[in-house]
Amino acid sequence: MTYRKLIKGFDAFKRDFFGKEVNADYQKLVEEGQRPETLVIACSDSRIDPALLTYSDLGQFFAIRNVAALVPPYGEKDNLHGVSAAIEYAVRALGVKHIVVLGHAGCGGINALATGNYQVEPNTEFEFIEKWLDIARHAKERIDAEMPDADQAYKISTLEQAAVIVSLHNLLSFPWIKSRCDDNVLKIHGWCFDMQQGELYEYQPDRGIFDTVDVTGQDKALLTAQNGLDFFIKNKACCASDAA
């Protein structure tokens, strides 16, 4: 029935949305092309919808979704790089002004990385997921080393946030992202959404922590080399009771 619901949903879209005067913005986007100012990199998790979370309209942001919202480091050009290709298009062709990495609490990918439990049948191995999660494995190892006595839930929640930091830094390994950040024409931001609490946490590069978004505050999320993973883990290790 779920698949049929998709088909019926399209029918409703065609009947109630497409071509309607009230949705002229949609027609304008179709005719004139997209000019999104933001790239959002989110998890593929079906419960995380960046458009819903931000109450965004069509055309407002370019989106990449993958397991655990990870960004790989700038790499060899002779491999297949779906994520990097989409990042390149957003930055170099569309000229986005912001990139948001949107991690989340309760992420199955991060949980698998943290625990080694991939929830598959015995003797069954995934072919691609473990290798993909290796992007953030050094963060897991640092957390295990820096906070050996913390409980597992706290380590997982720390890793959910640390993985966002890893992705922010990997974004800066792309030379055309680094140069745009240096020129202040592109800003990158780290978010972590807690779907149980309905809270959105934003990485605060000056303090090395994630804090609830300040809806009235100034944009201050320009990342520098001084406030990366080390800074974040040091701050988390210092205040092991404030799990977000």
Task: Provide, rounded to whole angstroms, the least separation between the CB of residue 89 and Zn ion.
Answer: 23
CA–CA distance, 186 with 243 (Å, rounded to integer) = 30
Structure tokens at 76: 């060899």
Paired tokens of 221: 């999320």
Q: Which residue has the tokens 């949609």?
A: 26
- The DSSP result for 176-224, as a single string, is HHHHHHHTTS-EEEEEEEETTTTEEEEEETTTTEEEE--TTS-------
Q: CB of residue 136 vs Zn ion: minimum separation in angstroms?
A: 12
Q: Which is nearer to Zn ion, 43 or 96 (CB)?
A: 43
- Would you say 68 or 223 has its CB closer to Zn ion? 68
Cα–Cα distance for residue pair 43/102, rounded to 1 Å: 7
Which residues contribute to the site for Zn ion (CB under 5 A)?
43, 45, 107
Q: What is the DSSP letter of 43?
A: E
Q: What torsion do the CA atoms of 44, 46, 47, 48 make, to the nearest 10 degrees? A: 30
Residue 113: burial class (beta carbons within 10 Å; 0-12, 13-18, 19+): buried
Of the candidates 75, 188, 195, 64, the residue with the CA atom closest to the CA atom of residue 131? 75
Rg (CA), the chain: 19
Distance of closest approach, residue 31 Cβ to Zn ion, in angstroms: 35
Looking at the Cβ atoms of 146 and 194, the one nearer to Zn ion is 194
Nearer to Zn ion, 45 or 227 (CB): 45
For residue 243 the two structure tokens come to: 């799990």
Q: Which is nearer to Zn ion, 174 or 193 (CB)?
A: 193
Q: Which is nearer to Zn ion, 43 or 186 (CB)?
A: 43
Cβ 142 to Zn ion, closest distance in Å? Answer: 20
Give the shortest CB-244-to-Zn ion separation in angstroms.
15
CB 48 to Zn ion: min, Å: 6
Query: Residue 108 Cβ, how far from Zn ion at the closest point, in Å?
Result: 6
- Shorter beta-carbon distance to Zn ion: residue 45 or 202: 45
